[in-house]
Structure 1
């Protein structure tokens, strides 16, 4: 296990413990991470007390159909954008029985463009108490697997911050 994997594991344990003690349920809406955040959470024993569900909304159609993302937002800003990350988190929150939801949409690579390079990832966080945040990160063109793992780490950090503020 490398350092990042160990950090992800430790964050997931802290998250599950904090959510369980606060009697909070979690949901994820993942695009470029393809379910890795939900996988990290459900690796933790007792996570069924805290994890409600995860949405893997890799395609634009999945974002629209499963999470209620407005297709006009995707057309105007692209799937990798602040607006879509916000709508994904809000959609996961409203479609689930969760108290806190995180979303991830990004360009893991290879590829990208000057405007949206590989390593660009947007996150959304929404809570049943009305907290809505977005976060943009540009991890750089560090390779597909590294971008995805770094995005998992950041999503867990955001979820943990949401739990701690609830």
Structure 2
């Protein structure tokens, strides 16, 4: 039952993001890794979201981050795929490779395995980018894989609300 409430919260949050973006006359692009398109799915569940959602990239592998978003392989090698510099490069690359005016990116370790000392399970990096500014941060979430992915998606959308509010 807990996962259902997370999805409902994510849906409500996506509706709110849509209203804010539409009011600000902004379009969004997403670049998702560990969430595998959870944000894009929540957004496209909303009828009429094409008015404010331009496209989404699911760049799960390092090669796709390089090929689709133009992230230099050296950045991934130097900092690791789960890092603030890579999240930042993902958001900026999504903007460059779209017609959107704002972007969000998510890269992390949802678990249950795959964690490292530098990027333990539950570590998720985010970035939000617009034509005028990029910000990034790292958070640590707990729970199972589904819970980490949903928490990350909610956090990313909440961060986007703050970015849009600061820009209008």
TM over 0.5: yes
Match of 1:64 in 2: 66
For residue 121 of structure 2, the aligned residue among 118, 122, 135 is 118
2:57 aligns to what?
A: 55
Q: Deviations over 1:34-60 (max 9, x none)?
A: 111011111112211000000000000
In the alignment, the residues of structure 1 paired with residue 8 and residue 36 of structure 2 have an alpha-carbon distance, to the nearest angstrom, of 20
Give the Cα–Cα distance (whole angstroms) in 1 for the partners of residues 118 and 54 of structure 2: 35
CA shift, 1:3, in A, is: 2.5
Give the number of equivalent residue pairs: 164
Question: 5+ unaligned residues in a row in structure 2: which ranges?
Answer: none
Distance apart, 1:7 and its partner CA:
1.4
Q: 1:101 pairs with 100, 103, 106, which one?
A: 103
Runs of 4+ in 1 over 3 A off after TM superposition: none
3-state SS in 1 of match to 2:36: coil
**Corresponding position: 1:151 with 2:152:** yes
Deviation string 1:91-125 (CA, Å, 9 cap, x unpaired) is 00111101100000000111212332100000011
Counterpart secondary structure, 2:21: helix
> TM-score under structure 1 normalisation?
0.95
User: CA RMSD of the aligned region, Å?
Assistant: 1.1
The within-5 A match list for 1:1-166 is 2-111=4-113, 112-128=115-131, 130-140=132-142, 142-166=143-167
Which runs of 5 or more residues in structure 1 are unaligned? none
